[in-house]
Amino acid sequence: RAKERGKSSFKVFNQKMHDQALKLMALETDLRRAVDLGEFEVAYQPIVCLETRKVCGFEALVRWRHAEHGTIMPGDFIALAEDTGLIYAIDNFVLAEACGQVKQWQIGFGPHMGELLTLNINISGKHFGQPMLLNQVTRALTDSGLHPSALNIEITESALMDDPAKAEEVLRQLKALGARVCIDDFGTGYSSLSYLQRFPIDVVKVDRSFIDGVEGNQDSQAIVRTVFSLGKSLGLKVVAEGVETPAQLAFLENEGCRFVQGFLFYRPMSAAEVHDLLAGGSIGS
Ligand code: C2E
Ligand code: MG
Ligand code: MG
Ligand code: MG
């Protein structure tokens, strides 16, 4: 009987794997088509300057508007996009689109405030190592007219640590273009602190997992404090990600935090919603 049970669970397992493989293949076909048809949109999540409580920049976040399944979030297709190489086109679409959009806001809401707006773009670790990246960034900046210093390229620690020597070179090239570089999800990877010093990094974003519950968790508090003091000594701008509650905000302010991003202030929104927000006077730095 044990043997039979074993056999049947093996069968179930196989069937499940088969179904998953089919689903993945269908998704891959869809994703390829989505890239061809341009089924992606950019959502913008404001980054808030705590001194003024106003918007000083945005993180661009991709959304897939699937014809049948509706909106698909990046968590559900970025890994597949990386495996299939489609990520290069997706990242590049977001880069070009968002640079153009932010430049428009800078013009429309300038000259005294608009030009202060910055843009954060996520670049996949896989894409980060590709020679095409520099051309794409150069192109997006030239086509949009966005000032390079307004552009922050976000990469994760693992993207840096896969090949640190190569990563350092790419970071220096991006810096040579005048762009800024930002470590995303800081604290969740394995980068050694020495790299923070060695690499030409401008910004670190404290990962949401440390902000979640920080008001009651001494370990998270210690980590967040350490990142702020590290930022101070190394001259890095620190942004707290995923701020959801007034208690989290109170802790962060008390620790000297200056920039936050999170649902407490704003969720990611459409370009049209950003326009209304900025028109309402929420812009500043
Ligand atoms: P990320 O770069 O760390 O972006 C922040 C994510 O946290 C976003 O999720 C955002 O909506 C979410 N978030 C912001 N504030 C809060 C909060 O207060 N509470 C909670 N619970 N969540 C918050 P999203 O848009 O689903 O993106 C997930 C991840 O997908 C991103 O994490 C990034 O790693 C990746 N991603 C998004 N857009 C792109 C893209 O254009 N290219 C690449 N390569 N990756 C992207
Ligand atoms: Mg990010
Ligand atoms: Mg992040
Ligand atoms: Mg992330």
Task: Kindly calculate the radius of gyration of the chain based on its CA atoms and give it in whole angstroms.
Answer: 21
The pTM score is 0.93
Q: Which residue has the tokens 């970071």?
A: 171
Q: What is the pLDDT of residues 149-201, one digit of tens each?
A: 999 999 999 999 888 999 999 999 999 999 999 999 998 887 777 888 889 99
244 lines ligand 1 (CB under 6 A): yes
pLDDT, tens digit, 9 for 90 and up, residues 95-139: 999 999 999 999 998 766 666 899 999 999 999 989 999 999 999
Q: How far apart are CA 46 and CA 55, in angstroms?
A: 6
**What confidence tier does 147 reach under pLDDT thresholds 50, 70, 90?**
very high
| Contact present, 252 and 240 (Cβ < 8 Å) | yes
Residue 17 has pLDDT above 90, yes or no: no
Query: ipTM for the complex?
Result: 0.98
Mean pLDDT, the chain, integer: 92
What sign does the CA torsion over 247, 187, 61, 136 have? positive
In the prediction, which pLDDT does 103 show?
95
Residue 188: its pLDDT value, please?
Answer: 87
Both tokens of residue 50?
């705590």
Joined together, the tokens standing for residue 134 give 């520099």
The minimum-distance atom of ligand 1 relative to the CA of 61 is 38
- The 3-state DSSP class for residue 222 equals helix
Q: Are 152 and 121 in contact (CB under 8 A)?
A: yes
Check if 156 has its Cβ closer than 6 Å to any atom of ligand 1: no
Confidence band for 18, pLDDT divided at 50, 70 and 90: confident
- Ligand 1 atom with the shortest distance to the CA of 185: 3
How many CA within 13 A on the CB side of residue 97?
A: 20
Which residue's CA is the nearest one to ligand 1's atom 3? Answer: 185
Could you tell me the CA-to-CA distances from 151 to 4, 20, 207, 231 in Å, in that order? 61, 39, 20, 20
pLDDT band at 21 (very low <50, low <70, confident <90, very high): confident
Partners of 65 in beta bridges: 71
Please answer whether residues 19 and 39 qualify as being in contact, where contact means their C-beta atoms are separated by less than 8 angstroms. Answer: no
